[in-house]
Amino acid sequence: MSQAITIRPFEEPDAPAVQALFALVNRQLAPAGMHDAFEAYIARSMTEEMGRITAYYRQRDGGFWVALRDRAIAGMFGLERASSEAMELRRMYVDPSFRRTGIARSMLSFAEAECQRMGARRLELSTSEVQPAALELYRHAGYRLQREETADSISNKTVGGGIGRYYFDKSF
């Protein structure tokens, strides 16, 4: 029987655990031969976003949440404004030791409800070919594939390196 999770807004004392989870998951996702590209992506994302979560998401009319199980951070996600009618789901990660327990589904449902509360009619998101479980989750949750592209440049949203990206959305 799975234990209940609690989803609550990010607090500054969560930062070290959230940053460690972000780095851990991205290091695990790095395909062979792309270690350096993922390390550069982690470093850039820490500077631009993950090292300043509260300010970053406030500037983008959004928020950031953590999922707790037994008072440990088991998952996280952010929402930022994509347009007047849409939010973008960002940084949805589950600690590897808590995967396949329903945390991602719970966070996604919470994010959808939060979008509606914030007046958004649509949730947009993207994921990559190195995250097949995420692709499956979004498809099963009713998200529609809008486009695919190859990420050639690095940003705080893409690693680059020619990794395939999938862009989904769901209207409410």
Q: Is residue 169 part of a domain?
A: no
Tens-place pLDDT, residues 32-41: 888 998 999 9
**Is position 81 within any domain?**
yes
CA distance 55 to 10: 12
pLDDT at res. 1 = 41
* Residue range of the domain that includes 76: 6-122
Residue with token string 């979560």 = 53
pLDDT digits (tens, 9 = 90+) for 64-75: 999 999 889 999
Would you say residue 145 lies in a domain? Answer: no
Residue 161 has pLDDT above 70, yes or no: no
Pairwise pLDDT comparison (93 vs 150), residue with the higher score: 93
Mean pLDDT of 114-140: 94
Domain membership flag for residue 146: no
Burial-class residue 28 by CB neighbours within 10 Å (0-12, 13-18, 19+).
Answer: exposed
Q: Is-contact 94 103, C-beta < 8 A?
A: yes
94 within domain boundaries: yes
Number of H helices, E strands in the chain: 5, 7
Tell me, what CATH number does 84's domain have? 3.40.630.30
The whole-number pLDDT of residue 162 equals 73
Domain count, the chain: 1
Asked whether the CA dihedral 29, 137, 55, 158 is positive or negative, the reply is positive
**Is 11 a domain residue?**
yes
pLDDT of 151 > 80? The answer is: no
- Residue 49: partners with Cβ closer than 8 Å, 6 or more residues away: 56, 91, 156
Question: Residue 37: its pLDDT value, please?
Answer: 87
What does the pLDDT average to over 57-69? 97
Task: Supply angle C-alpha 107, 113, 115, rounded to 5.
Answer: 100
Of the pLDDT bands very low, low, confident and very high (cuts 50, 70, 90), residue 126 is very high
Share of the chain above pLDDT 90, in %: 77
96 part of a folded domain: yes
- CB distance 106 to 5 below 8 Å: yes
